[in-house]
Each structure stands twice: as structure tokens, then as C-alpha cells.
A and B are shown apart, each in its own frame.
Chain A
Amino acid sequence: MTTTMPTDRPAGHAERVTVIKPHRGLASLDPVELWRRRDLAWVLALRDLRVRYKQTLLGVSWAVIQPLATMVVLHIFFGKVMGMAERVGDVPYPVFLYAGLLPWTLFANAVTSSSNSLVGNAHILSKVYFPRLLLPLSATIVPVIDYCIAFAVLAGLMLWFKVPMTLGLLWLAPLILSTVIAVLGVGILLASLTVSYRDFRYVVPFMLQLWFFMTPVIYSIGFVPERYQWLMNLNPMAGTIDAFRAAVLGQPVNIGAWLVSASVAVLTLLVGLMWFSKLERKFADVV
């Protein structure tokens, strides 16, 4: 055959060659392919959302109920009974709590759903090819939607408790970004670990429970002795949540602490992606 293009090729289609060969390193995380199949991430998220709507009476209102109810209970026990409300200074403890719970709930829900996303969709994984990374990514979409709804409640609480809105709120943009990075990093890492070691299905809920107490949600990082604070900030959510709350309450943001946490989050995402791509091609054999 000469180098001229054959003319009998099915018309109206650009030549596309799929090459199937062993993959090494990060080669399997093909961003072009990922972008081409982005539809699937939305469709799967839509499925999750619809199924939840159909199976639960309260549907989307769970997005509000979950952090709100948690806030009320924590406020009663930690705020009132244990006297935390007095220790946080002159800010209303319910707002203090809710501002911490908001990013934490996103983190916990998204990490839970993305860590289960591969095992939970095993029947699809073993029958059809698509970039596997779409699954943990898609699994974070619904928690992000919940997060947006719960955000509106935060605004309501701030008005109710007369917390002034300051320019500090501008900080929320980079803080939300670093929350999402932490969510994706931990979620993607746990998703691939859950495929290899089913133990993680039980480890993750337990781990998140402990993680909650190691993250400054019911307290602030300032409660921790100063020489241990750096250790706390290695938690990718610690500095972020502390900064998030400071921004909401119009207090000074601890940029250093946040940068440490954000760096750990970025690092986790890189490690997560490496792990994922290393294992991606084996998922169908293992799930």
C-alpha cells in the first residue's frame, strides 16, 4: 500500500487508532481520553442522584439535614455540656461548628463514595472500558452538589447569628479549591486501595471517625499546644478547615498552616494518581 490514504474508509470520520499495549507509569492517565468521556462522569453522578431521590423520602434535603443535625447535636454536647461554646471566644458556637462541618462533610462523604466507587461499579468495570479515573471523580460530584446546598444554610446561619460578612470571605475560593484537592487525593488513593484490599471497606468509615476528632471541627487549632500544631497541619483538612472557619467568622486566616495542609493535599493527590494509574489496568482482573 502506498502512503496515500485509502478512500474506502468509512466516510466522515477522522482516523483514530487505538493502540493496546502494556502500560507503564502514568501513561494510562490519558487526560485527552478522560476529557472525551467526561459525559460519563456526569451521567453516573446523575444516576447516583436519581437513585437517591427515588429511594429516600427526603431526597436532596439530606444535604441540609446531615450537617445541620450534626451541628445541633455537637452544639448540645460539646458546646453546652462540655462548655466548648465559651472557649471559642465571642463567636456563636453553632456558626463555628457549622463552618467546620461544612468542608468536613464534603470531605467525609466524598471520600466514602469515591473509595467505594470502583468496587461499587465492578459490574461495569469488568465489561466496558472507559478511563477508570472517571469513577472516583464522578463519585465526588453528588457530595459537591450537597456541599453547595449546605453552603446556602451557612449563609442563613450567619444572618441569623448576625455574623458580619467581611472581605475575608474572598478566601473561600482558594480554600474550597484546596478542600477539593484533598478530597480527590484521599478519595482516589483509597479507591485503588479498596480494590486491592477489601479491608478498606471497613477501614474507611472507622478511619474517618478518628480523622474527624483529629481535625479542628469542634475545636480550633489554637486549642492544641503550639509545639504540636505543625503535626496537626500535616492533616490535609486541618489547616484548610481552620482557615475556612476563620474566613467565615472574619478572623485572621493562618496562611502558613493552610499552606502546609494544602501542600500535603497536593502531595496526596499526586501519590493517589500514581497509585491509581499503577493499578488501573489491573482493576478488571481484581474486582
Chain B
Amino acid sequence: MTMSYPAIQVEGLGKHYRLGQTRTLRQRLAGMIGRSGAANNQQAGEQSFWALRDVSFSLEAGRVLGVIGHNGAGKSTLLKLLSRITDPTEGKASIRGRVASLLEVGTGFHPELTGRENIFLNGAILGLKQHEIKKHFDRIVDFAEVGRFLDTPVKRYSSGMYVRLAFAIAAHLEPEVLIVDEVLAVGDASFQRKCLGKMGDVAQSGRTVVFVSHNMAAVRNLCHEAVLLDGGRVAKRGDTSEVIDGYLNRLFADTSDDGIVAWDESDAPGGDDVRLMKVRVVDESGAHHGVFDVNDPVNIELTYHVTNPVEDMRWVIKVVCDDGSIAMATTDHNQRGPLTAPGVYQSICTIPAGLLNVGRYTLQINAGCPGVKVLVQPGSFLRFQTTRTHNLGSAYVEHWPGAVAPALNWDMRAIHHSDQPRAGVAA
């Protein structure tokens, strides 16, 4: 692209909400009759807040911008303002070119109507003219793979067919600026790939896209640049991976589980022989935090004070899932000597990269001499979260079942090729 111009220019955009805005007629009338009504409103706890404030940024034409942030950071509000569903309280945004916004697929689908009728209905709702829908009609039907069921009411469609049809219509909008929510994460894997291909075309075609998501892998895949919202304000703006890192850092800062717990000598867990002074979960650089990428190792660091010589002691760490099931248990028993002399020690247990699943884990830690005595009573001392910012190969981050989701080694060889006789099992 030789020259560029801002397709989207946002200046000081803000949206103010009043909670408890929907009062009934009775309340409103009561408010009108007596001055006491005003007092009632106060009592009803009429609160107000800025869902979005002072948001400014611009986006060059042909670029794909990811909008990320926690729940409640203002992502959906920004989306609603840019798609004109609701009016800003202050500020201004200008969008150059034909705009389309997709907050969901299949908006306005009526279950009683046929696939064909819903294509025209949904297309019109999305802003297509009837002749434009006619022009794209065959391609929409092909893309959705619903040909045979075109004249069946969509209430009889399987959910997969429904979503495919809905997406197919949306995919054939030809806006210059597309404002899109996480609607792409629909359908089965092969359809997702198809949609992503379509999204890729959109990015290639020089269309400007604003993509709102809390799916980091999708943002990393699709977006040229990103903006991080926090508390309704722009916290970071720039290159996608830079902003995602900023988001993760913020996640660390915000979580109450900050990856460290430490005690004074007097209240440290343990007894006369051993006291656990500190537990940390640290990354490779030795910094502790509460959130780890599953693709990075997690080091559990125990600092403990041995006051009397102890024979045959061991530490046990159980990694417990949020539902209470134990993902795994580990001990240092065979890796430490038979006698531990008095002193302050640090033991580090490494959970290798690519083992944990995405989720929240609690560390249950205890120490003892098996069969003899308990040194440190088991306690759930620390929690940490894991997230995934790179995907496992599919276009979208899938929620993977299981307490762990290890990246195991897979080996593939050809046993025989079809043009050769069966070679048997190789040595």
C-alpha cells in the first residue's frame, strides 16, 4: 500500500451508564408526585459509572485491530459504540467507508422461516440490499452447505447447519470496515477453518477490521495491531504481541494470587523440625506471578527452615484442579539424601512447559517422614492460573479436556504407500 489514511478515528470516546435506569412507571409517577420520590431514587442506590472513557485511537485503512481486555474492561461497549447500537455520552468517532458490524451471526433469524427466507431477512438486517443478496445468493448457499434444506424452516436445522448458514450470510457482506465480535468461534473444526480462510481473505483484501476478543490466540493470528482496554480506558496500544504481553502482565498484577506466599518464623506452617517459610511460583527468569502460559515451565519454589536434623524427609506437592480433582502429585523423596542437616533450604520443582492445561491450579504442599511423622501438615498454600496464547494447531483455541494437556511426542511414519506392497512392521 503506497498511501494510507485512517479508516477509523476515535477521539475521547466515552459512555456513561446509570444503573437502575429502568424504573417502572409507578416509580416514575411516585417521583413526579412527591419530592420524596427523589429521595427514593437515592435509596434505590442509583449508581452510575463510565463503561468507557477518554478512548482515542486511530486505525489505518486495511489494518486489522484486535481489542482485548478483561470482562468489564469496556470491549463490548466500544463494540456497541462503533457499530452505532448505542450512542456515546461524549467524544466522537469517524469511520470512513461502508461499515458493517457483526456482534453475532444469524441476528433476526426466524425459526418458522425457511433458509431461503432467512437469508433475505438476515441480509437486510445486516444492511444488504435485496439485489445484493440475490447477487450473492448462490455463493452463500454453497458456502453454508445447506443446499438441500434451503426450503426447510430453520427450526428443523441442526445447530451446525444453522450456524453455517448464519455465518455464510455474514461472510458475504462486503464492507470496507468490518467491526466484529468473537462470532468466528462457531461451528465444527472444518467449518472454523473455512471461516478463518474467509477472514484471511478479508484481511488480504485490504479491508479494515476491528476484532474484539478475549481469545489471545485468535488475536495473535488475525490482528496486525491491538489495543488493550482496562477499566474503560486504553491501557496499551501497539503491536499485537506487545499488547498481549501487556495484557498478561496486567492479569498478573490484578490477580490476588500473585505467585508468592511467605510467613514469619512464628506462624510458618510446620513444627519443631521444619518450617515452610515461603512458597513461590516463578518463571524462568525467577520472577513470581500468578499467571503462566502453558507453553512456559512453572517452577514451584519452596523455602524452608530445618531446625533439627531430620532423617528421610520428603516434600509432596499436589497440583489440584479447580474442581478439586488432583491433576498430579510429585515428591522429592528419591532425589534428596537420607539426612537433612539444620539450615535454610530452597527446593525448586519444575513443571515442564507444555504439560498443564488452561485453568486454575492450587498447590497443596506437605512434608513428612513417611511412616514416622508429619513435618508440615498439608495445606493449600498457593494458586496460579494458566493461559494459552499460542494454539495447538487448529485455527482457534479449543477448550481441551483433562486435568493436564501435555504436549506429547507424536511420531508418524508411512507403513506402506498405496503403490507398494504392504511392507510389514519395520524394525
Instruction: Give A contacts to B, CB under 8 Å.
Output: 1, 6-10, 13, 15-23, 28, 37, 39-40, 43-44, 46-47, 50-51, 54-55, 121, 123-130, 196-200, 281-282, 284-286
Contacts and interface: CB of A to CB of B under 8 A. Distances in A.
B113 A18 contact: no
The 9 lowest CB-CB distance pairs between A and B, nearest first, are: A281-B87, A129-B84, A43-B124, A197-B25, A20-B93, A199-B25, A21-B92, A18-B95, A127-B107
Contact of A21 (B93, B101, B120): B93
A22 B90 contact: yes
Given A13-B97, A43-B130, A127-B103, A22 B124 contact: no
Given A51-B112, A128-B125, A20 B92 contact: yes
A127 B90 CA distance: 21
Given A21-B93, A43-B125, A197-B28, 19 more contacts: A6-B3, A8-B61, A9-B61, A13-B176, A17-B96, A18-B96, A20-B81, A20-B82, A20-B87, A20-B92, A39-B130, A40-B125, A43-B120, A47-B117, A128-B83, A128-B103, A128-B127, A129-B83, A282-B87
Contacts of A285: 17, 21, 86
B296 to A, nearest CB: 38
Given A9-B61, A47-B110, A124-B107, A19 B97 contact: no
Contact of B108 (A15, A23, A123): A123
A198 B28 CA distance: 12
Interface of B: 1-5, 13, 17, 21-22, 24-26, 28, 61, 80-99, 101, 103-104, 107-108, 110, 112-113, 117, 120-121, 124-127, 129-130, 153, 176, 206-207
A127 B129 CA distance: 19
A20 B125 CA distance: 20
12 contacts: A18-B96, A18-B99, A19-B93, A21-B93, A40-B124, A46-B121, A54-B113, A123-B108, A124-B108, A129-B101, A197-B28, A285-B86
A261 to B, nearest CB: 27
Nearest to B94: A19
Contacts of A1: 3, 5
Given A13-B98, A16-B96, A43 B3 contact: no
A17 B99 CA distance: 9
A6 B97 contact: no
B5 A9 contact: yes
Contacts of B87: 20, 22-23, 28, 281-282
Nearest to B207: A10
Contacts of B1: 8
**Among B84, B107, B108, residue most surrounded by chain A Cβ atoms (within 10 Å):** B108
Contacts of A47: 110, 113, 117, 121
A10 to B, nearest CB: 5
A42 to B, nearest CB: 8
B110 A127 contact: no
A23 B84 CA distance: 11
Contacts of A39: 124, 129-130
A21 B124 contact: no
Contacts of B125: 40, 43, 124, 128, 130
Nearest to A195: B22
**Among B82, B87, B117, residue most surrounded by chain A Cβ atoms (within 10 Å):** B87
Contact of B24 (A7, A28, A46, A198): A198
**Among A10, A15, A121, A130, residue most surrounded by chain B Cβ atoms (within 10 Å):** A10
B121 A43 contact: yes
B207 to A, nearest CB: 8
B137 to A, nearest CB: 14
**Among A121, A281, A284, A285, residue most surrounded by chain B Cβ atoms (within 10 Å):** A285
A22 B206 CA distance: 30
Contacts of B121: 43-44, 46-47
Given A10-B176, A39-B130, A20 B5 contact: no
A18 B84 contact: yes
B97 A16 contact: yes
A36 B392 CA distance: 45
A17 B5 CA distance: 13
Nearest to A287: B22
A249 B122 CA distance: 46
Contacts of A55: 112
Contacts of B82: 20
A132 to B, nearest CB: 10
A204 to B, nearest CB: 13
B76 to A, nearest CB: 11
A199 B27 CA distance: 11
Contacts of B88: 20-22
B421 to A, nearest CB: 57
B85 A128 contact: yes
A23 B49 CA distance: 20
A149 B24 CA distance: 39
Contacts of B153: 54
A20 B95 contact: yes
Given A16-B96, A19-B93, A127 B25 contact: no
